Amino acid sequence: MRRKPNSTNMLKRKSLAIVLIAICQLTIIAQEKKFSLSGSIDAYHKTNINAPYETAPGSSFANLPGFALGMANVIVSYEGKKAGFVADLVFGPRGTDAIFASPMYSDTGNIVNQLYAYLNISESVKLTLGNFNTFLGYEVISPIGNFNYSTSYLFSYGPFSHTGLKADFTLSDDWSLMLAVMNPTDATELNPNGKYAMGAQIGYSDQFLNFLYDNGGFEIDYTGGFDITKNFFLGINAAYFNNDDLNIGFGGLALYPQYSINEDFILGLRAEYFKQDTSVDFDPIGTGISESSVFVATLSGNYIVGDLTIIPELRLDSSSDDFFLDNDATPQSSLASFLVAAVYKF
């Protein structure tokens, strides 16, 4: 005698089939669209060797005395087959310094480091609309993108971020081109005056020549690097900026030799020369003198323990003018400082 089907078993089989179909659909979606969460946290201790503890160089970041915080950086991204977005949020002193021109309108503009959407028109053309970090310079805002923990004068007084529309073109395996129209530099939430900046980048085999025209000023920047040997790398950044209308300008050169001693430890030096030729109202170095220069030697180590990087760093700023104050409040031309930073990426 044939048994009647068990309704409970049939319901279980249908439920299992539905679950399997849902899993297959989710797998297909996941293959087409990739959601990711990444970022970093960093903290450090800084002390001056020949000056009061609160004295700092004129460059951005890592300028706070004693035990200090960098920032928490949380990046949410969504990568589809044709389109996607990036929401890059920062919290803490380093983030506050990076988004110095915000908020201009919103109460939360000072936590938005980047916020943009992109569309892949084809395999060789990509459009991006929103707020993105600058394409000029060797160094970046996030400490995980830099070898040295403190930053250079060239980075500190070039642009940080832009808001606008840019188009990236892959011309060949070696050549690339980027064109952009943007708000005035670092005006990330809105355009405050109706004027627009124009940017361009030409790339060849990881060497980049960058151009920026903004509010009557023009900047040209070269960023690149070469693997001299298997263990020895040399990075290079050179830039020149001038605005005759505002009587401000600067230029400089930074070299970044780095040597991998083993898989866990890399030793590197940043040697930078920076010169300002400007009105006293715009004083990147901080001397209060319109024509000043500074040479900076920064020796850093990167000790890598999984996703944690420990960075001991010795830095010497030597200026053409006496403006650093020593412990007796006497002006001097140099500042020596030492820090140890911990940077964790996820």
pLDDT in tens, 166-180: 999 999 999 999 999
Provide the residue ranges of all domains of the chain, joining segments of one domain with +.
34-345
Greater confidence, 100 or 266? Answer: 266
Secondary structure letter of residue 20 according to DSSP? H
Amino acid sitting at position 207:
Q
Output b/e per residue, 116-150; b: 16+ Cβ within 10 A.
Answer: bebebeeeeebebebbbbbbbbbbebbbbebbbbb
| 3-17, 67-81, 146-160, 179-193: least confident range | 3-17
Output b/e per residue, 71-107; b: 16+ Cβ within 10 A.
Answer: bbbbbeeeeeeeebbbbbbbbbbbbebbbebbeeeee
Its pTM stands at 0.86
pLDDT range class, residue 253, cuts 50, 70, 90: very high
| 3-7, 100-104, 308-312, 338-342: least confident range | 3-7
Greater confidence, 273 or 100? Answer: 273
What pLDDT does residue 248 have? 86
User: For all residues of the chain together, what is the average pLDDT?
Assistant: 89
Length of the chain: 346
Alpha-carbon distance of 177 to 124, in angstroms, equals 10
Task: State mean pLDDT over 279-293.
Answer: 69
Residues 76-119: pLDDT tens digits?
999 998 999 999 999 999 999 999 888 889 888 899 999 999 99
Antiparallel, parallel or unpaired: β 197-204 and 207-214? antiparallel
Alpha-carbon distance of 194 to 173, in angstroms, equals 38
Fold type of domain 34-345: Porin (2.40.160)
Res 6 pLDDT > 60: no
Alpha-carbon distance of 187 to 137, in angstroms, equals 18
Alpha-carbon distance of 320 to 275, in angstroms, equals 10
Q: Are 233 and 245 in contact (CB under 8 A)?
A: no
For residue 234, give the 3-state DSSP assignment.
Answer: strand
